Amino acid sequence: MPSKRTTLASIAQALEISVSTVSKALSDSSEIGAATKKRVLEYAKANNYTPNSFASSFRKGTTSTIGLIIPNILNPFYAKVLVGVETYLDDNGYKLITSISNDLIEKETKNISVMSSGFVDGLIICISKEAEQKSEYQHIKTLIDNGTPIVMFDRICDELECDKVITDDFQAAFDATEFLITNRNCKHIVITAKTNNLHHLNLRRKGFEAAMNKHSATVKCTVITDERSKGLKQKLGELLKEDSSIDGVFGLNEKSVLHAILLTNKLQKEDNAISIAGFCNDMQSKYDASLIVINQNAKEIGVTCAKLLLDRIKSKDNTSFHTKTIAVNL
Amino acid sequence: MPSKRTTLASIAQALEISVSTVSKALSDSSEIGAATKKRVLEYAKANNYTPNSFASSFRKGTTSTIGLIIPNILNPFYAKVLVGVETYLDDNGYKLITSISNDLIEKETKNISVMSSGFVDGLIICISKEAEQKSEYQHIKTLIDNGTPIVMFDRICDELECDKVITDDFQAAFDATEFLITNRNCKHIVITAKTNNLHHLNLRRKGFEAAMNKHSATVKCTVITDERSKGLKQKLGELLKEDSSIDGVFGLNEKSVLHAILLTNKLQKEDNAISIAGFCNDMQSKYDASLIVINQNAKEIGVTCAKLLLDRIKSKDNTSFHTKTIAVNL
DNA sequence: GTGAAAGCGCTAACAG
DNA sequence: CTGTTAGCGCTTTCAC
């Protein structure tokens, strides 16, 4: 193991030329003669020189690194967004620093400040539930004021001036609900809704309600609410046992859908007795053709975020922010 | 938006004191008088000075950043490992750079070299399927020779000298299989095995076989092999329809287990007619109590990797590497 | 063609 | 107590 890394200086010393010559030779500058270039390149290879890109970044004032802050990586929606972000960044020579906020403002704030203290050229963020519920955006505002380019996705905030990428939650929920009604002939649909007052969950619920209103003549609905997922699951289980007229379930989020799948399986009814629709990115959903899954195109969301951010960084423009809506499909 | 960031130099200039005084004052050094400290602190706050920790890292020669390279983030096993790593790192003031290799040597190699060129203090890696199958470890060796501390997990290689964290795959498979036999009274168990020659999958299969041999008098087994997941799923589906004596399925990996759940659900047999056991970290499995899930304690694996790595970095020792085996439970 | 030198922002000897 | 100085490794004018 070589005790010391090869650097420009060590190459220069060994070859008795100057550091700047070495630097230029390695970057194949036209200023340097072919003979010198060859000498330098050979020496560099022989001593397996790897440029210290950290130093280079420091010098240039950019890091080619992007920060991603998400609430939870076990939710496949966020995992897929990460895949999209990582893919696009990697293709463009950028690195990715990831932080999981666990939906806590404190951790979010801490990591934002660490990253933005010179480590990243820009930030992609889905704010924590806590921040959204308390409308606490000061930590994000500070970031923007500081000049760090950011892109928000999924959970966004109108008062923040930056690029944003969202799903058309209302339309998606409307479409899926209508599909339950018109294609699966559902007559009694249950919706499971957490009472956590998240903006995009409310939109989904409104989409569902709009569809129900449109078809109110033929379809009935029952709303289950609870502030916790477990509570929702339990109530749904009881309801399914009691009321055999239920022939559809609409899940507003990942967990609701998974719970619905499990509970209806347990009932051991004849095939397709109960149709399930909802927002779900779990692998499981891909294998179960009977499900009506709202495909949020999470990976595409990630790619779009990354693209918006890199474009913003390259243009150095900080006006006219875009909000892109990623289409969904069933 | 302030056109220029506040720096030590700008503070020093404004207050007509030296840069080093400012630096010391901000780090609350005992060398500086209370009055000066107060002046500096107030000015810093007023101009919301944030230290450029990138520059500081550069100066100190360490980045407080760790690289994590995993094949796939959509596999919940790796996602959970990431959570463990991220949690431990964050608690210890470290950042995390993540790269997804997609099981390709090329991307793995590229990202390793980018990260190790000064951006990370150490690396945690689960090598790509491709590297393991081709026994290509040169890119890892180069890294080790270069002096970068690394920790391997899940897929390891004996010839590489570094810390390692693994699951006791053999024992886990043995225990789960025996549970199927003795507790669920299975008489005919199907095992779905991909023919991809991955070390830890082979260990799992050996564990299964050892249990079968021990109970060969009472239990029969059928082995399904295919090089692709889809093929396995199809063969399993056909077998389940044809042979009604099957009362147990053992899945060697995530997908196999998920497929088995789905297929047996479709059969609409009476409850618990077919018991399923296997390696699975999907959310779904948590909600289905009838499953026999091998809990690999993925988060703990992540925490252990991170801990081993930080300890190694701090001690600067590069001898006596440890291989830790994380216990599993059903 | 090649080299000298400045400097990115910060830290840490060493002087006063 | 405060200041001077010398870099970390690299890029980039500007001279020669």
Instruction: Please give, rounded to a whole number of angstroms, the shortest distance from the CA of B76 to a CA of chain A.
Output: 7
> Could you give the C-alpha distances from B70 to A303, B304, B312, in angstroms and in order?
19, 16, 21
Interface contact A65, partner B, CB < 8 A: yes
Q: What is the pLDDT of residue A162?
A: 92
Place of tokens 């998240």: A198
CATH at residue B179: 3.40.50.2300
d(CA B36, CA B229): 68
The gap between B64 CA and D5 C1' (Å) is 27
Higher pLDDT, B110 or B288: B110
Higher pLDDT, B81 or B208: B81
d(CA B291, CA B277): 6
The residue that minimises its CA distance to C1' of D2 is B21
Instruction: Kindly indicate the confidence band of residue B248, based on its pLDDT and cuts at 50, 70 and 90.
Output: confident
Place of tokens 């959509």: B74
The highest-confidence range among A119-123, A270-274, A322-326, B281-285, by mean pLDDT, is A119-123
Q: What radius of gyration, in Å, describes the C-alpha atoms of chain B? A: 26
**Nucleotides in chain D near protein beta carbons (<7 Å):** 1-5, 7-13
d(CA B231, CA B238): 11
The gap between B21 CA and C16 C1' (Å) is 14
Instruction: Please give, rounded to a whole number of angstroms, the shortest distance from the CA of A280 to a CA of chain B.
Output: 12
Specify the DSSP class assigned to residue B218: T
The partner residues of A224 in beta bridges, in order of sequence, read A192
Q: What is the pLDDT of residue B162?
A: 93
Residue A309 lies in a domain: yes
Comparing A105-114, A169-178, B118-127, the range with the smallest average pLDDT is A169-178
If contacts are CB pairs under 8 Å, which of residues 127-146 in chain A contact chain B?
142, 145-146
Interface contact B104, partner A, CB < 8 A: no
Q: What is the pLDDT of residue A150?
A: 95
- Total structural domains within chain A: 3
Do B191 and B287 have their domain in common? Answer: yes
In degrees, rounded to 5, the angle at the alpha carbon of residue A299 between the alpha carbons of residues B74 and A94 is 90
Pairwise CB contact (< 8 Å): B271 & A270: no
Q: Which of A74, A96, A145 lies nearest to residue B76, judging by beta carbons?
A: A74
> Could you give the C-alpha distances from B168 to A318, B73, B174, in angstroms and in order?
53, 22, 10
Instruction: Please give, rounded to a whole number of angstroms, the shortest distance from the CA of A61 to a CA of chain B.
Output: 10
State the DSSP H helix or E strand holding residue A213, giving kind and residue range, or none if neither: helix A199-214
> Could you give the C-alpha distances from A204 to A74, B113, B145, in angstroms and in order?
22, 44, 54
Residue B312 lies in a domain: yes
Do A70 and A112 have their domain in common? Answer: yes
Comparing B138-147, B258-267, B320-329, the range with the smallest average pLDDT is B258-267
Pairwise CB contact (< 8 Å): B52 & A117: yes
Residues in CB range of B213: below 8 A, 6 or more apart: none
- Among A162, A189, A159, A161, which Cα is nearest to A173's? A189
d(CA B108, CA B136): 12
How many other C-beta atoms are found inside a 10 Å radius of the C-beta of residue A310?
20
The token duo for B174 is 């043995």
Residue B1 lies in a domain: no
Do A70 and A145 have their domain in common? Answer: yes
> Could you give the C-alpha distances from A116 to A87, A139, A310, B104, in angstroms and in order?
22, 11, 16, 31
Q: What is the pLDDT of residue A128?
A: 95
Residues of B in contact with A57 (CB under 8 A): 54
Residue B233 lies in a domain: yes
Pairwise CB contact (< 8 Å): B74 & A283: yes
Pairwise CB contact (< 8 Å): B50 & A270: no
Residues in CB range of A53: below 8 A, 6 or more apart: A64, B114, B117, B118, B119
Residues of A in contact with B265 (CB under 8 A): 265
Q: Which domain holds residue B205?
A: 169-293
The pLDDT tens digits of the residues spanning B280-319 come to: 877 666 666 678 888 888 999 999 999 999 999 988 777 7
Q: What is the pLDDT of residue B286?
A: 64
The token duo for A275 is 């149709």
Do B90 and B12 have their domain in common? Answer: no
Q: What is the pLDDT of residue B239?
A: 80
Residues in CB range of A310: below 8 A, 6 or more apart: A66, A88, A89, A92, A94, A122
The partner residues of B70 in beta bridges, in order of sequence, read B100
Q: What is the pLDDT of residue B267?
A: 67
Specify the DSSP class assigned to residue B294: E
Instruction: Kindly indicate the confidence band of residue B12, based on its pLDDT and cuts at 50, 70 and 90.
Output: very high
Interface contact B14, partner A, CB < 8 A: no
Is strand C less than 7 A from the beta carbon of A41? no
CA quadruple B317, B96, A136, B38: dihedral sign: positive
- Among A236, A242, A230, which Cα is nearest to A192's? A236
Place of tokens 């810390």: B163
CA quadruple A250, A256, A262, A264: dihedral sign: negative
Comparing A31-45, B13-27, B95-109, B170-184, the range with the smallest average pLDDT is B170-184
Q: What is the pLDDT of residue B1?
A: 37
Do A280 and A176 have their domain in common? Answer: yes
* φ and ψ of A308, to 5 deg: -55, -45
Q: How many helices (H) and strands (E) does chain A have?
A: 14, 11
- Cα first-last separation, chain B: 56
> Could you give the C-alpha distances from B9 to A16, B12, B43, B52, B165, in angstroms and in order?
35, 5, 13, 12, 46
Question: For residue B161, is pLDDT > 70?
Answer: yes
The gap between A27 CA and C4 C1' (Å) is 19
Pairwise CB contact (< 8 Å): A74 & B96: no
Interface contact A80, partner B, CB < 8 A: yes
* φ and ψ of B223, to 5 deg: -105, 130
The gap between A55 CA and C2 C1' (Å) is 24
According to DSSP, the β-strands at B163-167 and B323-326 are: parallel
Pairwise CB contact (< 8 Å): B74 & A73: no
d(CA A82, CA A72): 11
Do B129 and B241 have their domain in common? Answer: no
Instruction: Please give, rounded to a whole number of angstroms, the shortest distance from the CA of B80 to a CA of chain A.
Output: 7
Q: Which of A95, A255, A268 lies nearest to residue B97, judging by beta carbons?
A: A95
d(CA B167, CA B301): 8
Residue B188 lies in a domain: yes
Mean pLDDT computed over every residue of chain A: 87
Interface contact A283, partner B, CB < 8 A: yes
d(CA A181, CA A193): 19
d(CA B97, CA B305): 15
Mean pLDDT of B44-60: 93
Residues of B in contact with A271 (CB under 8 A): 268
Do A83 and A149 have their domain in common? Answer: yes
Residues of A in contact with B55 (CB under 8 A): 58, 118
Question: For residue A54, is pLDDT > 60?
Answer: yes
> Could you give the C-alpha distances from A219 to A130, A186, A209, in angstroms and in order?
36, 7, 12
In degrees, rounded to 5, the angle at the alpha carbon of residue A47 between the alpha carbons of residues A45 and A51 is 75
Pairwise CB contact (< 8 Å): A114 & B268: no
d(CA B72, CA B70): 6
d(CA B227, CA B204): 16
Do A156 and A302 have their domain in common? Answer: yes
Furthest CA-CA distance within chain B: 89
Instruction: Kindly indicate the confidence band of residue B23, based on its pLDDT and cuts at 50, 70 and 90.
Output: very high
- By C-alpha distance, the chain A residue nearest B50 is A117
Do A275 and A212 have their domain in common? Answer: yes
> Is residue B141 within 8 Å of B301, Cβ to Cβ?
no
The token duo for A6 is 């090869």
Residue B133 lies in a domain: yes
Interface contact B26, partner A, CB < 8 A: no
Instruction: Kindly indicate the confidence band of residue B2, based on its pLDDT and cuts at 50, 70 and 90.
Output: very low
d(CA A21, CA A11): 10
d(CA A85, CA B100): 11
Q: What is the pLDDT of residue A304?
A: 96
Pairwise CB contact (< 8 Å): B57 & A54: yes
Q: Which nucleotide is nearest to B8 (CA to C1')?
A: C9
Mean pLDDT computed over every residue of chain B: 87
Do B40 and B68 have their domain in common? Answer: no
Residue B2 lies in a domain: no
**Residues 41-80 (B) near nucleic chain C, CB < 7 A:** 51-52, 55-56, 58-60
Do A204 and A246 have their domain in common? Answer: yes
Q: What is the pLDDT of residue B270?
A: 56
Q: Which of B52, B82, B117 lies nearest to residue A53, judging by beta carbons?
A: B117
Q: Which nucleotide is nearest to B24 (CA to C1')?
A: C11
**Nucleotides in chain C near protein beta carbons (<7 Å):** 1-13
Specify the DSSP class assigned to residue A63: -
Residues of B in contact with A79 (CB under 8 A): 73-74, 79
Q: What's the number of CA atoms in the CB half-sphere (13 Å) around residue B218?
A: 11
**Residues 258-277 (A) near nucleic chain C, CB < 7 A:** none
Residues in CB range of B180: below 8 A, 6 or more apart: B186, B189, B248, B250, B275, B277, B292
Q: What is the pLDDT of residue A263?
A: 77
> Is residue B252 within 8 Å of B205, Cβ to Cβ?
yes
Chain center to CA of B106 = 20
- Three-state DSSP class for residue A88: helix
Q: What radius of gyration, in Å, describes the C-alpha atoms of chain A? A: 26
Question: For residue A252, is pLDDT > 80?
Answer: yes
Q: What is the pLDDT of residue B287?
A: 66
Q: Which nucleotide is nearest to B30 (CA to C1')?
A: D1
Question: For residue B225, is pLDDT > 70?
Answer: yes
Question: For residue A271, is pLDDT > 80?
Answer: no
Do B173 and B289 have their domain in common? Answer: yes
- Among B280, B291, B284, which Cα is nearest to B328's? B280
Residue A57 lies in a domain: no
Q: Which of B58, B233, B258 lies nearest to residue A58, judging by beta carbons?
A: B58
